[in-house]
Structure 1
Amino acid sequence: MQDQETLNRYFAWDPREDPEFSPWLVGEGPIGGKGRSLLFAIRKLRASGDENLASVRIAPSRFLGVGVFREVAAQIPNLAELRRKEDPEALESAFLQTVLPGYVREALREYLEGMTDPVVVRSSSILEDSIKHSFAGKYLSTFLLNQGTLEERLQAVCEQIQRIYSRIYFPTALSYRAKHGLGEDEMGIIVMRMAGRWRGRTYYPTTGGVGYSRNMRRWTTRVRMEDGILRFVFGLGTMSTKRGYARNFSLTNPMLRPEGPNPYKVMKHAQERYQVIDGQRGELVTLDVKQTWRDLLTQHPDLGIYAQLYQTDGDEGYFSSVDYSTVLPERFAKICFTFEDFPRRCKPFFTRMKALLPLLEQSMGVPADIEYAYEPREDELELLQCRPLWIGGSAAGGARIPDLSGRRTILRADRMVTDGVLENVPVLVYVDHRIYSVEPDFHAVARAIGLVNQTLGDQRYVLVAPGRVGSSNPELGVPVQYNELTQCACIVELGIPRSGHMPELSYGTHFFADLETDNVLYMPVYEGERHNLYDETWFDEAPYAEGPHPAVRIYRGSFSAYMDGGENTGVLVADRVETGC
Structure 2
Amino acid sequence: MTSKEPLQSSDRVSTGLPGLDEVLDGLRIGDNVVWRVSDLNDYRRFVFPFLDAAAETGRQIIYLRFGQHPPIIEQHPAVRTIEIDALGGFESFTSRVWHLIEQHGRGAFYVCDSLSELLNAWATDAMVGNFFRVVCPLLFELDTVAWFALHPDRHSRMTLDRIRETTQVMIDIHRHGENVQIHPIKAWLRQSPTMFLPHREQDGQFQPITDSSDATRLQASLELEHLHRQPLLDYWDRLFQEASRALSEQDADCIADLQEQVLQVLISREPQILALARRYLSLEDLLGIRSRLVGSGYIGGKATGMLIARNILLKEAPELWQQNLEPHDSCYLGTDAYYAFLVHNGLWPAIMRQRSKAGYLTEAPALRDGIQEGRFPDEIRSELERLLDHYGQYPILVRSSSLQEDGFGNAFAGKYDSVFLVNQGAPEQRLEALEDAIRQVYASSMSEDALRYRQQRGLDQREEPMALLIQRVNGRFHGRYYLPDAAGVGVSRNTFAWDSTMDPKAGMVRLVMGLGTRAVDRIEGDHACVMALDHPNRQPFRNQDESYRYSQHLVDLLDLQQGALETRPLSEVLENTTDLPVEHLAEVDRAATTRAEQIGLKGPVWRLTFRPLVQKGAFISRLSDLLQTLEAAYRHPVDVEFTLHLDEQGDPAFNLVQCRPLATVGEAGPVPIPDRVPEERILFRTEGHFMGGNINLAIQRVIRVDAAIYATLSTTQRYEVARLVGEHVRSSKTPTMLIGPGRWGTTSPELGVPVRFSDIAGVAALVEVSEKAGHMVPDLSYGSHFFQDLVETGIAYAALFPENSHCQYHPEHLDSPSLPAGQPPSPDAALRIHDLDHRQLQLRGDIVRQTLICFFTD
Scaled to the shorter chain, the TM-score interval is 0.7 to 0.9
State the match for 1:30 in structure 2.
298
How many angstroms apart in 1 are the aligned matches of 2:812 and 2:590? 36
Q: 1:305 to 1:165 in 2, by over 3 A?
A: closer
Q: Superposed, which structure 2 residues align to 1:343-492 within 5 Å?
A: 343-345=614-616, 347-377=617-647, 379-393=652-666, 395=667, 398-401=670-673, 408-417=681-690, 418-421=692-695, 423-441=697-715, 444-456=717-729, 457-459=731-733, 460-492=735-767
Q: Among 497, 503, 513, which residue is 1:218 paired with? A: 497
> What residue number does 1:159 align with?
436
Q: Report the CA distance between 1:81 and its aligned residue.
A: 3.3
Deviation, structure 1 residue 529: 2.7
What displacement does 1:6 show?
7.7
Q: CA deviation at 1:258?
A: 2.0
Q: Which structure ranks higher in relative contact order (CA pairs < 8 Å, sequence separation ≥ 6)?
A: 1
Which residue of 556, 561, 572 maps to 1:275?
A: 556
Unaligned 5+ residue runs, structure 1? 312-318, 577-581
1:275-315 CA distance string (max 9 Å, x none): 1111111111111124444334x12364473253264xxxx
Other structure's SS at 2:797 match = strand
Report the CA distance shift for 1:8/1:91 in structure 2 as closer, same or farther (over 3 A): closer
CA 1:78/1:211 → structure 2, altered by over 3 Å: closer, same or farther?
A: closer
Q: 1:159 to 1:452 in 2, by over 3 A?
A: closer
CA contact (8 A) 1:15 1:22 kept: no
The alpha-carbon deviation at position 229 of structure 1 amounts to 0.6
1:288 aligns with 2:569: yes
SS of the equivalent of 2:640 reads strand
Counterpart position of 1:551? 830
Matches within 5 A, 1:97-116: 97-100=374-377, 102=379, 104-115=380-391, 116=393
Distance in 2 separating the partners of 1:272 and 1:131 = 35
For 2:594 and 2:534, locate their aligned partners in 1 and report how far apart those are by CA, in whole Å: 26
Name the TM-score, length of structure 1 as normaliser: 0.87
Aligned partner of residue 374 in structure 1, secondary structure:
strand
2:408 maps to amino acid? I
Among 337, 341, 356, which residue is 2:608 paired with? 337
Q: Which runs of 5+ in 2 are unaligned?
A: 1-269, 820-824
* Per-residue Cα deviation, 1:455-503 (whole angstroms, up to 9, x for no partner): 4513342111222322344444333321231332211122346864333
Q: Find 1:251's aligned residue among 533, 538, 546.
A: 533
What displacement does 1:212 show?
0.6
Q: 1:548 to 1:268 in 2, by over 3 A?
A: same
Distance 2:606 2:719 in 1: 31
* 8 A Cα contact 1:420 1:521, kept in partner: no
How far apart are 1:424 and its partner, in Å? 3.8
Task: Give the Cα–Cα distance (whole angstroms) in 1 for the partners of residues 282 and 451 of structure 2.
Answer: 30
Higher deviation after alignment, 512-521 or 452-461? 452-461
8 Å CA contact 1:117, 1:146 repeated in 2: yes
User: Contact 1:543–1:555 (CA<8 Å) still a contact in 2?
Assistant: no
Distance 1:444 1:267 in 2: 33
Structure 1 Cα separation of the partners of residues 273 and 479 of structure 2: 45
Shift of 1:376: 2.5
| CA distances 1:43-63 after superposition (whole Å, capped 9, x unpaired) | 112223433323312441111
Change (3 A) 1:340 1:88: same
SS in 1 for 2:845: strand
The one-character-per-residue Cα deviations of 1:102-129 (angstroms, maximum 9, x if unpaired) are 1x43433223213211111111001114
Matched, 1:514 2:789: yes
Does structure 2 retain, via aligned residues, the 8 Å contact 1:308–1:338?
no
Partner of 1:136: 413
Query: Structure 1 168/453 Cα, relative in aligned 2: closer, same or farther at 3 Å?
Result: closer
Moved more, 111-120 or 77-86: 77-86
The structure-2 alpha-carbon separation of the partners of 1:8 and 1:431, relative to structure 1 and needing over 3 Å to count, comes to same
* C-alpha distance in 1 between matches for 2:347 and 2:656: 40
Q: Secondary structure at the match of 2:618?
A: helix
Contact kept, 8 Å, 1:16 with 1:22, in 2: the verdict is no
Matching residue of 1:10: 276
Question: Is contact 1:450–1:485 with CA below 8 Å preserved after alignment?
Answer: no
**8 A Cα contact 2:713 2:827, kept in partner:** no
Amino acid of the residue matched to residue 401 of structure 1?
I
The one-letter code matched in structure 1 to 2:565 is L
Distance 2:535 2:377 in 1: 50
Among 574, 580, 597, the residue aligned to 1:300: 580
Q: Computing the radius of gyration over CA atoms, which structure comes out larger, 1 or 2?
A: 2
| Distance (whole Å) between structure 2 residues aligned to residue 218 and residue 239 of structure 1 | 21
- Tell me if structure 2 keeps the 8 A contact 1:86–1:171: no
CA contact (8 A) 1:207 1:375 kept: yes
Residue among 334, 337, 342 paired with 1:65: 334
> Is 1:228 equivalent to 2:496 in the alignment?
no
Query: What is the identity, as a one-letter code, of the residue corresponding to 1:295?
Result: N
Larger CA deviation: 444-453 vs 210-219: 444-453
1:46 aligns to what? Answer: 314
Structure 2: how far apart are the matches of 1:112 and 1:387? Answer: 28
Counterpart CA distance in 2 for 1:467 and 1:175 is 25
**Equivalent position SS for 1:435:** helix
On the 8 A contact 1:547/1:553 being kept in 2, the answer is no
The one-letter code sitting in structure 2 at the alignment partner of 1:305 is L
Q: Distance in 2 between matches of 1:89 and 1:14?
A: 42
Secondary structure of 2:325's counterpart equals: coil
Contact persistence 1:259–1:265 (CA under 8 A): yes
Secondary structure at 1:108 match in 2: helix
CA shift in 2, pair 1:334/1:243, >3 Å: farther
3-state DSSP of counterpart to 1:327: helix
What is the 5 A alignment of 1:154-193? 154-182=431-459, 183-184=461-462, 185-193=464-472
Aligned with 1:309 (options 578, 586, 589): 589
Are the equivalent residues in 2 in contact too, given 1:399–1:565 (CA < 8 A)?
no
1:544–1:555 Cα contact (<8 Å) kept? no
Contact 1:76 1:95 in 2 (8 A): no
Amino acid at match of 1:390: A
Q: Secondary structure of 1:248's match?
A: strand
Aligned length: 555
Counterpart code for 1:369: D
| 101 and 222 in structure 1: CA distance in 2 versus 1, 3 angstrom threshold | farther
Following superposition, the deviation at residue 420 of structure 1 comes to 4.4
Output the CA distance in 1 between the equivalents of 2:801 and 2:600: 32
The 1:133/1:404 distance shift into structure 2, 3 A limit, reads: farther
**Normalising by the residue count of structure 2, what TM-score does the alignment of the two structures yield?**
0.60
**RMSD between aligned residues:** 3.1
Structure 1 residues 91 and 493, CA gap change in structure 2 (3 angstroms): closer
Paired residue type of 1:9:
A
| Closer, same or farther: CA 238–502 of 1 in aligned 2, 3 Å | same
Task: Supply the AA of the counterpart residue of 1:511.
Answer: F
CA contact (8 A) 2:586 2:606 kept: no
Relative to structure 1, the CA distance from residue 328 to residue 226 in structure 2 (aligned partners, 3 Å threshold; closer, same or farther) is farther
Structure 1 residue 509 displacement after superposition: 1.2
Counterpart for residue 579 of structure 1: none
Aligned equivalent of 1:533: 808
Q: What's 2:12 paired with?
A: none
8 A contact 2:476–2:483 mirrored in 1: yes
> Residue 549 and residue 282 in structure 1: after superposition, are their counterparts in 2 closer, same or farther (change >3 A)?
farther
Matches of 1:220 and 1:444 in 2, distance apart? 39
Q: Aligned partners of 1:399, 1:230: CA distance in 2, in Å?
A: 28
CA distance in 1, matches of 2:546, 2:372: 49
The DSSP-based 3-state class of the residue aligned with 1:299 is coil
